[in-house]
Chain A
Amino acid sequence: GQQLNQSPQSMFIQEGEDVSMNCTSSSIFNTWLWYKQDPGEGPVLLIALYKAGELTSNGRLTAQFGITRKDSFLNISASIPSDVGIYFCAGHLGNFGNEKLTFGTGTRLTIIP
């Protein structure tokens, strides 16, 4: 089946640093979603991308939908302690009858005091 590879697998940064992570696919998606999961919680939607080449921001977060439709990246600027968690990308074909999401392997973000 389809697989989404996220990199890096984990990141250790200092507060205030910028963060960049990406997600690549072996096949095309029509929608890319980025989620954050805190311990003991379900994933929370951060950003949704619907068009190839689209660049979307949500506060300190910026995400882009790759031109090839096989990749996406997420940037976090000026990281703060509450950014700690696991970030997942997810791809969606967006076709009726095929509504399911494929999730990436996740990037664990840790902020070093």
Chain B
Amino acid sequence: SAVISQKPSRDICQRGTSLTIQCQVDSQVTMMFWYRQQPGQSLTLIATANQGSEATYESGFVIDKFPISRPNLTFSTLTVSNMSPEDSSIYLCSVHVLANTEAFFGQGTRLTVV
């Protein structure tokens, strides 16, 4: 398994501002994933963060809105830019262990935009 720490665990932000979420893993992993979970909904993949290259974004998500950094094999950040109330969600970091199979999640960041 992997231990994943996310910071902050929650935040309340003003619209128009940006928030950077950090994800730290206790072991080196090739790929890290960022998900959004809107209230009462399932998880939707935002992007895959690869070390040493640009993140790969899913349909409906763009780099200008959700810039991602992946400076090394144990750390990644997701920024939610120019926030609006519609961005209020839980944002989750995930890693795969045992190549392509089991995925483990951080505890999530609960974001409320007012």
A residues touching B (Cβ–Cβ < 8 Å)?
1, 31, 33, 35, 40-45, 48, 50, 88, 90, 92, 94-96, 99-101, 103-106
B33 proximity list for chain A (CB < 8 A) = 100-101
- Interface size band for B: 20 to 34
Contact partner of A106 (CB less than 8 A), chosen from B4, B42, B96, B102, is B42
B residues touching A (Cβ–Cβ < 8 Å)?
1, 4, 6, 31, 33, 41-45, 48, 59, 92, 94, 96, 99-108, 110
Nearest Cβ on chain A to B12's Cβ, whole angstroms: 15
Is B103 a contact of A103 with CB atoms below 8 Å?
Answer: no
Is A1 a contact of B42 with CB atoms below 8 Å?
Answer: no
Is B43 a contact of A99 with CB atoms below 8 Å?
Answer: no
Q: Which residue of B lies closest to A31 (CB)?
A: B101
In the complex the two chains form, what is the Cα distance from A50 to B105 in whole Å?
Answer: 20
Is A44 a contact of B105 with CB atoms below 8 Å?
Answer: yes
Is B42 a contact of A105 with CB atoms below 8 Å?
Answer: yes
Query: Known contacts being A99-B31, A100-B45, A105-B42, is A94 close to B101, with CB within 8 Å?
Result: yes
Nearest Cβ on chain A to B13's Cβ, whole angstroms: 18
In the complex the two chains form, what is the Cα distance from A48 to B41 in whole Å?
Answer: 22
Nearest Cβ on chain B to A101's Cβ, whole angstroms: 6
What would 11 A/B residue contacts be, using CB atoms closer than 8 Å?
Answer: A33-B103, A40-B107, A42-B6, A42-B94, A42-B106, A42-B108, A94-B101, A95-B100, A99-B48, A100-B33, A106-B42
Is B102 a contact of A48 with CB atoms below 8 Å?
Answer: yes
In the complex the two chains form, what is the Cα distance from A48 to B96 in whole Å?
Answer: 13
User: Quick one: which of A40, A42, A43, A103 has the most chain B CB within 10 A?
Assistant: A42
